[in-house]
Structure 1
Amino acid sequence: MERRLSQGVQSVYREQLGHQPGKIIASLQGDRVTLILEDAVTQPEQLLANQGEKDLTEKVRSDLDAAIKPQLRERIQEILGVKVVDLLSDTTLETKREGIIAVLAETPQFRCSGSAAQQPTHQAS
């Protein structure tokens, strides 16, 4: 499931921003999803940051996050089959990492194939 989450978030970034994060680490713990995106900062944001436009870069990042939040929420809900009641995110421009936490209405129920009932944390790159 974590693999599907990583790939789903990666596709939202690619489709909406024309940018593919380098690696996404997804973890599902009960009614919480945690995502860490490496290289989440887009080329235009990097250009602004390199020009010393920190305030403008942070504003652009905030606006981009707000613009793609509905698509991220929808994709997570689609993959897990559970409503996302809150979606929190923050980006560190210096490290180019973004953290996303999705709070779910309930713990997703999955059919377990084999004896592995718990899914491992997954990375997409």
Structure 2
Amino acid sequence: MTTSLPTRGQIERTLAQRIQALYREQLGHQPSKVSCQLAEQNLIILIEDSITPPEQLLAQTGRQELAEKVRSDLDTAIQPQLKELIEETLNIAVVEILSDATLETGRTGMIAILAETPSYRSSAAVTKARRKAS
């Protein structure tokens, strides 16, 4: 039995689900939405509602600087696990992860720089296979 390559969309969904689970398990906070997009050797990640309740409380009570420090430290602490998750899912080394969060909007954006472009099946091949099957 041969294993066919997943589509780009399937890979992006798998990564998004696994990243959301990682945040839930490690930070005790589940983001409302995680979006991933592969673009050549880059993986772009957008995390909605990524700010934890303690960070929100700090920001709301005038401790903005401390909230930003906590967010930065959490991003740094979770990056090795995030890197491992991406490498395991794509079977490609991650060269670097660039990250930033905005407390006001609750969004975190990341770009994972990959060592090479991931292999995936094109959506056109999926459409063609579906047509043949019908």
User: Could you say whether these structures have the same fold, taking a TM-score greater than 0.5 normalized by the shorter chain as the test?
Assistant: yes
Q: TM-score, normalised by structure 2?
A: 0.83
* Alignment of structure 1 residues 39-54 onto 2, 5 Å: 39-54=49-64
User: Relative to total residues, which structure has the larger strand share, 1 or 2?
Assistant: 1
CA distance in 1, matches of 2:126, 2:53: 40
Q: Which runs of 5+ in 1 are unaligned?
A: 118-125
What is the RMSD of the two structures over their aligned residues, measured on CA atoms? 1.5
CA distance in 1, matches of 2:24, 2:92: 24
Q: Determine which structure has greater relative contact order: mean sequence separation of CA pairs < 8 Å that are 6+ residues apart, divided by chain length.
A: 1
- 2:87 is aligned to 77
Q: Which runs of 5+ in 2 are unaligned?
A: 1-10, 128-134
Q: TM-score, normalised by structure 1?
A: 0.89
| 1:20 counterpart SS class | coil
For the pair shown, the structure with the greater C-alpha radius of gyration is 2
Q: How many residues align?
A: 117
Deviation at 1:110, TM superposition (A): 2.6
- 4+ residue runs of structure 1 moved beyond 2 angstroms? 110-114
Equivalent residue in structure 2 for 1:21, among 31, 39, 51: 31
